Structure 1
Amino acid sequence: MITYLQISTTVPSEDMASRLARSITENRLAACVQIVGPIRSIYWWQGNLENSQEWLLQIKATLSLFPALEKHIKANHSYETPEIIATEIVTGNAEYLAWISAETKRSGASS
């Protein structure tokens, strides 16, 4: 049984969001990347309370692609420690989930 994920990461600019979303999708590491933003993030970083404008990427992929996707995000992200959080999609529209499988299998990776 294929496990589907929604992975989230945030980036500091709309341009970076577009570039990262495109590179993830072009490399078939995900079937879809949605960009939401701008959003406001308030968080602790290196002892300081930060208040930043960011863009949220919601990435639809399979569990088998997660290691390559995580590596790709880290290699193409400007943050020292980027948010990369995967949430399992426990159920969903069967046709949509099949579409995720079909589009990511084109990468040559097994899903």
Structure 2
Amino acid sequence: MPIHLVYCTCPDAATGQRIADALVGERLAACVNLLPGVTSVYRWQGKVEQASEILLLIKTTADCLEALSARIRELHPYELPEVIAVEVRAGLPAYLDWVAAQTQKPD
């Protein structure tokens, strides 16, 4: 089962925590790291903007990506939230197995 690392920025810690809790609680993610102190510079609606944000590093499986993205869209306050998934090419096999196990729905 391919494992993915998903990047998602949030406007503040409370939003990031709410999204992280939902994703892990619903088994869409095995783990979410919340990294404060991110400054994002981007173009939005024709203007260059800058914002302080929280970066979420979300560990999940390929099978969960579609539902995870949809859930972020439901929970996120941004009109267009960042959801970028990168396939993990290597890692500690036991950790990757743990990610896969934590995102399996119980029978």
TM-score relative to the length of structure 2:
0.97
After superposition, give the CA deviation of every residue in 1:79-101 in whole Å (9 maximum; x if it has no partner): 10111000000110000001001
Aligned AA for 2:101? A
The 5 A counterparts of 1:33-52 are 33-52=32-51
In the alignment, which residue of structure 2 is the partner of 1:30? Answer: 29
The alignment's C-alpha RMSD in Å is 1.2
Report what 1:82 is aligned to: 81
2: CA distance, partners of 1:73 / 1:51: 22
CA distance in 2, matches of 1:75, 1:97: 27
Q: Give how far 1:30 is off.
A: 0.6
Q: What are the ranges of 5 or more consecutive residues in structure 1 without an aligned counterpart?
A: none
Match of 1:20 in 2: 19
- Report the Cα distance in structure 1 between the residues aligned to 2:102 and 2:24, rounded to whole angstroms: 9
Which residue is 2:98 aligned to?
Answer: 99
Deviations 1:40-74 (A, max 9, x none): 00100001111100000000000010000000000
**Is residue 8 from structure 1 mapped to residue 7 from structure 2 by the alignment?**
yes
Query: Displacement, 1:37?
Result: 1.0
The number of aligned residues is 107
TM-score w.r.t. length of structure 1: 0.93
Percent identity, please.
36
Paired residue secondary structure (1:54): strand
- Structure 1 counterpart SS, 2:81: coil
> Structure 2 CA distance, aligned partners of 1:54 and 1:41?
7
- Letter of the structure 2 residue corresponding to residue 95 of structure 1: A
In the alignment, residue 7 of structure 1 is paired with which amino acid? V
Helix, strand or coil for the counterpart of 2:8? strand
